[in-house]
Homo-oligomer: A and B are copies of this chain.
Amino acid sequence: MSRTVYVNGEYLPEEDAKISIFDRGFLMADGVYEVTSVLDGKLIAFDGHAARLTRSLSELDMAAPVDMDELLAIHRELVKRNDIVDGLIYLQVTRGSPGDRDFVFPDPATTPSTLVLFTQSKPGLADNPAAKIGMSVISIEDLRWGRRDIKTVQLLYPSMGKMMAQKAGAGDAWLVEDGVVTEGTSNNAYIVKNGKIITRHLSNDILHGITRAAVLRYAKEAQMEVEERAFSIAEAQDADEAFVTSASAFVMPVVEIDGVKLGDGKPGKVALRLREIYLDESRKAAI
């Protein structure tokens, strides 16, 4: 059965969901996005995603297409219309279609932002068996632009990174710049050494993960030590364990980095405990 998706005020069958070739999202990657998880039919961390969307739009001088209450209503309507129990809601805002191509931003008064949302059903999303095995990662050079704190649709390099990982038989790639890890292709990266959780500090160099913020909060509440700083691949390979966080993978253990197994090569205790806490707390707070 065809999904119902949302495009600029209309709920449409996915086959009919189209945008102009002049949309700046298509011609110039002039757009931002968010992905919100759904568990048991409820939205996980919607407020966090809405706040980050607002910030991304603001950093790019892009107009919000609807207010956040309406955005929540659209999310819920899509969950309902598509019978999503577990899954994802993808949202994208672009600077709209001025009807022709020009580097100069169009006037938002005459060119409204484009808003697109669609669902992906992922039954058992929180019970991903991969979390029990953990995943391997390779390291690759971070060639992305300099404003990774803005969640833009410039995803070609992360996509290339996933392909490099796939060709190497790995689950993902960690991006390395100036000798230290920035983050994964679509997640934040962590190592654990002697009980201390180490993850890159916030800056323009990495995405300010909604799941990252929540996981670090829960870690601190559970009396775990957290240090926010950069680390190298060599330090990561010498760590006791490692993991990544993202809105759709939650907390995912990493058991091998560039062919080097961490510890006994099984998911670490800290990662598994944080995954449990994160899922428990997120389900409680879901709306």
Contact = CB atoms under 8 A, between A and B. Distances in A.
A147 B143 contact: yes
Contact of A162 (B99, B104, B153, B154): B104
Nearest to A104: B162
Nearest to A143: B146
Interface string A151-163: 0111111111011
A126 B29 CA distance: 29
The listed residue with most B CB atoms (<10 A of its CB), out of A14, A29, A143, is A29
Nearest to A99: B14
Contacts of A18: 18-21
B28 A26 contact: no
Contact of A23 (B26, B31, B154, B156): B26
A219 B148 CA distance: 40
A155 B29 contact: yes
A153 B29 contact: yes
Interface residues of A, number: 52
A150 to B, nearest CB: 9
A205 to B, nearest CB: 11
A79 B18 CA distance: 26
B163 A29 contact: no
Nearest to A157: B145
A105 B159 contact: yes
A141 interface: yes
A145 B155 contact: no
A211 interface: no
Contacts of A25: 26
Interface in A17-38: 17-23, 25-31, 33
A261 to B, nearest CB: 25
Contacts of A118: 21-22, 101
17 contacts: A19-B26, A21-B118, A22-B118, A23-B26, A25-B26, A26-B26, A26-B31, A28-B153, A29-B154, A29-B156, A101-B120, A103-B155, A103-B158, A143-B145, A145-B145, A145-B156, A152-B156
Given A14-B22, A60-B160, 19 more contacts: A7-B21, A14-B99, A18-B20, A26-B94, A27-B153, A28-B155, A28-B156, A28-B159, A29-B153, A29-B154, A30-B155, A61-B163, A103-B162, A103-B186, A104-B159, A105-B159, A145-B145, A145-B157, A152-B156
Interface of A: 5, 7, 14, 17-23, 25-31, 33, 60-61, 90, 92, 94, 99-101, 103-105, 116, 118, 120, 141, 143-147, 152-160, 162-163, 166, 185-186
